[in-house]
Every structure is written in structure tokens, then in C-alpha cells.
Structure 1
Amino acid sequence: MSTHEPEVRTLKVPGARIHHEVRGSGPVLLMIPGGPQDAGVLAEIARLLADRYTTVTYDPRGNSRSTLDGEPVEQEVDVHADDAARLIAELGGGPVDVFGTSGGGQVGLALTARYPDLVRVLVAHEPACVPMLDDPAAAEARDRHVYDTYLREGVDAAMVEFLGLNGLDVGEGAEGDALSGGDGPPPGEEELATFERVSGNFDYFLRHGLLPISLYRPDVEALAGGAPRVVVGLGAESEGELIHDIGLALAGRLGSAPVGFPGDHLGYDSHPDGFSETLHRVLREA
């Protein structure tokens, strides 16, 4: 494990305070987690890349340590993108490299479309933007079913269903090991702390984030011009899953070839060394 420890900072934005962690030196690489996740899930690849980049991870507004000023409201991808833009400005301005995974990929797409001068390259790893499918009706119905399950049966049942849509189960990744006592090595103190924080975000995500994030339609026309460059990353082990099909559809609409990354939807967690090297290669070649 890399030993780069973060400098922890807080940025006041309209309606929230954004917890973010800065490591290393070099060109800025802003890293955006997905859904209910926070900076902790990307900490290891941020450490691994901190000898080549100033890596910046953060908790999206309303998640974990990024507290809201008022009561939770329906999440808006464009508001998350505005937060990312303010972080970039706080770090000295753009253009910077951006990595977003899952719902963080949608935030990266919105950031790039709304603030193209702030982004040099966006790597969107398995963004869950369902409207990119030629016929999104079935996938949209599945997301709405997860939401209905949450309303009827609660958080646990809905999260099991949600993970299944991404080809995952509660035994995969650090969060899954903490839930199920899986066959991998026992999670360490940092992983357990991340799991505790992230699991505390599930209710907020299911109630206020699941549908607006998954149903977000990127501005493909603004993104397809090639500047800034947008790269779609797909997990090698995600092939055959809905999330893989969504990524292929997005890449097709952007007119670009997707790039393979190690692992599945959580490849940054299960294959951090290979994942970080792939990300570095993509950024270097862009």
C-alpha cells in the first residue's frame, strides 16, 4: 500500500461544505466517486498516483463528511458538477484531469459539458447514464423498481437489488467483505471506517439520488467534439452486465472507442495497482 497521507480540507459551497483530500504533487487529478460513496473508496488509487499527480478525492455533497446546510433535497447532477468546478477553482483553476466512476462519471460528464475550460481529459469509468441506451425503457424500469423496493422494504433490500444491477453482490469489494465476512483478507481500519460512512449514505442515495443520477442525460453534442477529450472506461469483468452496455452506448454516441480497465464496476478497489496504471496510461496518451 502506498503511504501518501492526505491533506484534509473543507470548501464552503452554496448549500454545503465539501470535504476533500489532497495528496502528492504534479498535475491535478480530480477523482469523483459514485452514488453513496465518498473519498475513501478511491483513497488507494489516489495514493498510488500521488507520485505523479496532485490527486484530489472528495465526498459529494450530502455524503459522509460533506454536510448539507439544510434538509436533503433531490440530487441534481448539474449541482454536483458545479461543486466539482468550485473545487477546481479552489485548487488553482483548470484545465485539470478528471476521473469519475459510476455516478461520478455522470458528474464528470456534466462538469466537462458545462465547464470545458476546466477539464483537459475526463475518464468516465462505467457511468450509469441509462438514457444512452437505444431503448432505455427496461433499464429505467429496473431503477424505478429499486426505488419502489426501498419505499416498500427499506434500505437493505433495495441495496442488494441495486448492487445486482451492476453485476455485484454484498460479498464483493471492501464494503462487501465488511457486510458478509467474505473470503478475502479482513478489511483494515480504514476500509471499515469507509464502509461505515458509505453505508450511512445509502438512505440518502436511494431516496434522493438514485433516479436523478441514473436518469441523467449527458449533453452528448457538447461532449462529442473531442476537446476536452472524454474517455469511457469499461471493466474487463463487467462484460455482459447492464452497466457495460450503457458504457458502450455512451462511447458510441461520443464516437470514441472505450478503454478496458481491470476488474468490474469496483475495479479500483479489487485491482488498485492495475487500475491506477491503466488510468495513468490513458491520461498520458490523451
Structure 2
Amino acid sequence: MFVSPTALLGPSVLRVPGATLHYRLEGSGPLLLVSQSGDGDADRTVDLVPHLTDAFTVLTYDRRGLSRSRLEHPGRTTSLTEHAEDVHRLLAAVTDEPALMLGCSLGAVIGLHLAVRHPGQLSTLVAHEPVAPRLLPAGERARHERELAGLRETYRADGLAAALPAVARSLGIDPARQATEPGLTPQPMDERRRANFGYFMEHDVLAVLQDTLDPRALATLAGSPTRVVAALGETTPTHAFDRRCGTALAELLGTGTETFPGGHNGNTTHPRAYATRLRTVLGTT
């Protein structure tokens, strides 16, 4: 039994301590949770999910503080361990079996916390370029933490127009030269996305800077029931912070890396090719 018989396909809500989470189930087969980063909510994967639902029951959700996932105390920063507990409760509500997880960027860090805190709840975690400075050597970690803090201050001082290109540069994304697959669903920077981006910059970037992820605990995952796959974007520059974190994760676990189409946000720019690669990595093709 992959999905609980009480779990309904379509949109649903789950009450968790301090918040109400909006989530959606689509498809049939083993449960695959897709956890986004940045301002990405459940709708950000609208082009990826249809290429997965013939093989998986795909679970997407709005991270607390974004879109329809409401907070009891909106001004409070949620830690990454709390985000991981949200995912723990969400998975427990919809399945009684170990789940698959694709975690992208911040979503990958949430998945790493989950794998450490709840061994066996995930069978495989594909961690695509985790934004996790604590994986890096001390000097490099400090440099990238300053970089993240600077991005947050840019947003607070100069707003969205200044912060967006700065964030893209940090992640190795060049919007002017970024290749995409044809026929993608438009995702304009509308009012909801602006609010989500603001929440991410104000609270989630701070959560990354305050994170308690323990590389020693992560190293034990090499012998745990959870298979962790360190994933890198094909076009992400080798010097970029996010790629360096993914490479460091693989070194810590003593594994290789898997390359996925596109760059840091390849799941949205190349959803068809990304889904094909994900299915291969998960062993379903």
C-alpha cells in the first residue's frame, strides 16, 4: 500500500503545529514528494508533474509561509528542522510506506534533515544542489554565508528588482542566456509570487544562515535505509555555491553525483528531460 486509503487525490490541507499546509496528490504508484525552494509552491511544478504521474503518486505542497500554507504567527522565522517536521507529518498523513523525495535547493536541505531525523521514512532522496553552507569547508562556508546574508540585505534595502538578478547570479543562473524547453506554462512574477519571494528572502534565507545541519550526522546516511543521491544541474557553473554544496554532499557520503538537465532550476526550465532523468535515477525506466 503506497498511499493511505484516507488520502484523496487533488488539493487538501493538513493542520500542523503553528500552520496549515496546502498540498496536492496526483497520479498513481509509489509516493514521490517534490519539495521546492525559493518562492516555489506546489504550482511551480505544473510542467514537471504531468511527466511523472503515470509512474508515481506525486505529492506537492506549499512550504509553510508560502501561498496557501498559512502561519499562526506570520512574523516568525521557521527553522529548517521545523520545515522537515512539516514534511514528516505530511508524509505520515498520506502513506504508510517509505517515500521517494525530490528536494530542490532549499527543499534538498529539508530532505536531508528529514533523512537524519526520521530514518527510514524516505527510501530515496534526490538532493538537487542543496543550499547548505555547512557542507563546505570553514573558509568557503563563511564566504557563502556572507553572500547569502548580502542577498537578504539587498532585498531588504532595494527590493525585488535588485534582489532577483543578484540571487540568479549567486545560483549560477543567467536569465538572458537560459535555455528552456518549448511550451512551458507562464509563471509571471504576480502578487502571490512577489509575496512568496519576500517571505523566502526575509525568513527562509535567514533559516539557512541559522541552520543546524550536522555533516557528521549526514555521513551516517551512507549506511542508513535512505539512499541519498547528490544531483547537479548540467549547466550550473562549477564555482557556483549551490553546485559546490552538491559536490560536497557526494564527497561526504562517499558517492558520485548525478547530472540533471538544465541548471539550478532545471526542473522548471527542462521539465520533460528532467522527469526522464529523475525516472532513470529512481529506477523506474
SS in 2 for 1:36: coil
What is aligned with 2:121? Answer: 118
What is aligned with 1:220? Answer: 218
CA contact (8 A) 1:105 1:125 kept: yes
CA distance in 1, matches of 2:167, 2:268: 18
What is aligned with 1:210? Answer: 205
**1:266 Cα shift?**
1.0
CA contact (8 A) 2:173 2:236 kept: no
Identity of aligned residues (%): 34
**Residues paired across the two proteins, number:** 271
For residues 238-274 of structure 1, the C-alpha deviation after alignment (integer angstroms, 9 at most, x for no partner) is 1322211111011101111110000101111111111
CA contact (8 A) 1:46 1:56 kept: no
Paired amino acid for 1:239: P
Paired amino acid for 1:225: G
Q: For 1:29-178, list aligned pairs within 5 A.
A: 29-134=32-137, 135=139, 136-171=141-176
CA distance in 2, matches of 1:27, 1:200: 33
Paired amino acid for 1:244: R
Q: Which runs of 5+ in 1 are unaligned?
A: 1-5, 174-181
CA distance in 2, matches of 1:93, 1:32: 19
Structure 1 residues 107 and 140: alpha-carbon distance in aligned structure 2, compared to 1, 3 A threshold = same
What is aligned with 2:193? Answer: 198
CA distance in 2, matches of 1:10, 1:156: 33
Q: Which runs of 5+ in 2 are unaligned?
A: 1-8
CA distance in 1, matches of 2:46, 2:221: 28
What is aligned with 1:283? Answer: 282
107-116 or 140-149, larger mean C-alpha shift: 140-149
For residues 135-155 of structure 1, the C-alpha deviation after alignment (integer angstroms, 9 at most, x for no partner) is 312111111111222232223
194-203 or 102-111, larger mean C-alpha shift: 194-203
Normalising to structure 2: TM-score of the pair? 0.87
SS in 1 for 2:231: strand
CA distance in 2, matches of 1:200, 1:184: 27
Structure 1 residues 133 and 55: alpha-carbon distance in aligned structure 2, compared to 1, 3 A threshold = same
**1:213 Cα shift?**
2.1
CA distance in 1, matches of 2:177, 2:84: 29
For residues 66-124 of structure 1, the C-alpha deviation after alignment (integer angstroms, 9 at most, x for no partner) is 11122231121111111111111111223111111010000011111111121101001
CA contact (8 A) 1:75 1:213 kept: no
What is aligned with 1:261? Answer: 260
Structure 1 residues 184 and 277: alpha-carbon distance in aligned structure 2, compared to 1, 3 A threshold = closer
CA contact (8 A) 2:65 2:74 kept: no
112-121 or 101-110, larger mean C-alpha shift: 112-121
**1:46 Cα shift?**
1.5
Structure 1 residues 170 and 211: alpha-carbon distance in aligned structure 2, compared to 1, 3 A threshold = farther
Runs of 4+ in 1 over 4 A off after TM superposition: 169-173, 182-189
**1:170 Cα shift?**
4.8
SS in 2 for 1:117: coil
220-229 or 87-96, larger mean C-alpha shift: 220-229
CA contact (8 A) 2:181 2:271 kept: no
CA distance in 1, matches of 2:262, 2:278: 13
22-31 or 221-230, larger mean C-alpha shift: 221-230
For residues 150-172 of structure 1, the C-alpha deviation after alignment (integer angstroms, 9 at most, x for no partner) is 23222331232112100124557
Structure 1 residues 71 and 272: alpha-carbon distance in aligned structure 2, compared to 1, 3 A threshold = closer
What is aligned with 1:22? Answer: 25
SS in 2 for 1:88: helix
